[in-house]
Amino acid sequence: MARILPAMASQMIIVFFLLYSFSATFVSAAEEQGFGTPLDPKQHKLKKEKLSHFHFFFHDILSGRNPTAIQVVPPATNTSKTGFGSVAIMDDPLTVGPNLSSKTIGKAQGLYASASQEAFSLLMVMNFAFTEGKYNGSSLSIVGRNPGGTREFPVVGGSGLFRFARGYALATTHSFNLTSGDAVVEYNVYVFHY
């Protein structure tokens, strides 16, 4: 009898361990299933996806009493020809035409940073926050590299009427003042949205 009890005890421990392992597996599987749930797009008012083209001008004003972009971090070294490491914050007007006096449709809000040691290239992180017409209150999010010339940036998302947005933006410098640093950039944005 003394030999049977330790054998039964070890079998009971094994059975307990197996039951505990199975219950932990089931609890873990139930928790994972509760983390993400498939949804019907119609519940979120997502109808047919459409492709839209937006054309506007971006005014980056560094000069004057009311600049729309300011440097918040200077370059770490004075010897950099590219301004490597400098960071600017912007709240630039978006207009329908190249003149600042043309109709304002929103703001480009975000930052740009000199991100290359060898050649001039900016990292752009910005939202096109629209204030006009049916797009008032909606925004498109842009992130990408700005090396000069015609630049292409991915549209990585949006808000409001641009939820689930994706696409790309082409930017071309319309004018640049070497003395003040002020620039006007033409944007053509192609975006899929609902």
pLDDT digits (tens, 9 = 90+) for 74-128: 887 767 788 888 999 999 999 999 999 999 999 999 999 998 888 888 999 999 9
Helix (H, G, I), strand (E, B) or coil at 44: helix
Which percentage of the chain shows pLDDT scores above 70? 82
Which residue is listed with tokens 């449709």? Answer: 105
Residue 184 has pLDDT above 90, yes or no: yes
Phi, psi angles (nearest 5°) of residue 76: -70, -25
Tell me which residue of 150, 95, 85 sits closest to 116, measured CA to CA.
85
Residue 3 has pLDDT above 70, yes or no: no
Residue 72 has pLDDT above 80, yes or no: yes
Q: Give the separation between CA 176 and CA 135, rounded to whole angstroms.
A: 29
Mean pLDDT score, 51-62: 97
> How far is the CA of 67 from the CAs of 23, 27, 143, 154, 181, in angstroms?
63, 57, 22, 27, 11
Helix (H, G, I), strand (E, B) or coil at 77: coil
Helices (H) and strands (E) in the chain, counts: 1, 9
Q: Residue 53: beta bridge partners? A: 190
Which structure tokens are listed for 120? 């001039």
Residue 61 has pLDDT above 90, yes or no: yes
Instruction: Tell me how far apart the terminal alpha carbons of the chain are, to the nearest angstrom.
Output: 76
Q: Give the separation between CA 23 and CA 29, rounded to whole angstroms.
A: 10
Mean pLDDT score, 28-41: 67
The confidence score (pLDDT) of residue 18 equals 56
